[in-house]
Amino acid sequence: MIKFHPSEEYLFNYVTGELSPAMLMMVGTHVDMCPQCANTAQEMETALANKLFGQAQLPEEFEAGNEGFDGAAMLAEIMAQTPQQHDDKVVKLSNELILEGKRFELPATLARNHHRIGQWQKLIGKMWRAPVQVGGQDVLTMIYMAENTRVAEHTHKGNEATLVVNGVFNDETSEYRDGDIMFLDGKVKHTPETRQEDCLTLAALDAPMHFTSGVSRLLNPFSSLFFK
């Protein structure tokens, strides 16, 4: 059961495409995994489409002169062009990711963008990272943490969004499982860790991380976790 969802504002901006490429990917992946948000997004799409194409009666002379005009068919055609229904062939080819001998099934949005996932690099401890090339200012990264792995306590200068693709991680305030999405601003300090289970996440950052504890400052290479 997913506990943490994007706000309605995020969902609305997802539907209208007014998010950064990194956040479109994050919210899109959550929507793939979350029937509740998929439903809300669908309702928003319908409401928007009605506002754009429907509802208002067409003037009679317009209707008379445009017998071939089929608003419903036009709308259906437009909806069919949304990416979700689009690339079935690609999805079948690349919806799995193999890492450390484990096989992960990727949600549709990530599967369609599999080719954007770069080289995996092993980091300190049992963590792996791969950049996701999406363009735009934000940095999008896939991070894999094996069991019993901890990221040094840190804050962010900007906003961080993290989505659990598969597995479980904890921080001081909660536990996050498949599909959970969390948003942190620069004020929050946190120490993500895995326990008995491993965790594959997608993380979007709009500014570099800033480590807060003394020891982790010595581990400066750690900030290369997200930034090359």
Residue (37 or 200) nearer to Zn ion, CB? 37
Non-local CB neighbours of 211 within 8 Å, separated by 6+ positions: 152, 153, 154, 217, 219, 220, 222, 223
Residue 50 Cα to chain centre, angstroms: 27
| Angle of CA points 39, 83, 77, to nearest 5° | 85
Minimum CB distance to Zn ion, residue 11 (Å): 8
Non-local CB neighbours of 141 within 8 Å, separated by 6+ positions: 129, 130, 131, 132, 202, 203, 204, 205, 225, 226
Minimum CB distance to Zn ion, residue 181 (Å): 7
Could you tell me which stretch among 33-41, 78-86, 160-168, 202-210 binds Zn ion (CB under 5 A)? 33-41
Please give the full DSSP string across 156-193, using - where no structure is assigned.
Answer: ESS-EEEEEEEEEEE-SS-EEETT-EEEE-TT--B--B
Residue (3 or 102) nearer to Zn ion, CB? 3
Q: Which member of 5, 112, 129, 156 binds Zn ion (CB under 5 A)? A: 5
Residue (36 or 82) nearer to Zn ion, CB? 36
Please, which of residues 86-145 interact with Zn ion by CB under 5 A? none
Residue (19 or 34) nearer to Zn ion, CB? 34
Minimum CB distance to Zn ion, residue 99 (Å): 25
Residue (10 or 211) nearer to Zn ion, CB? 10
Question: How many other β-carbons are positioned within 10 Å of the β-carbon of residue 130?
Answer: 17
Q: Which member of 24, 25, 26, 37 binds Zn ion (CB under 5 A)? A: 37
Per CB under 5 A, 29 contacts Zn ion: no
Per CB under 5 A, 34 contacts Zn ion: yes
The strand pair at 181-184 and 154-156 is best described as unpaired
Which residues contact Zn ion by CB under 5 A? 5, 34, 36-37
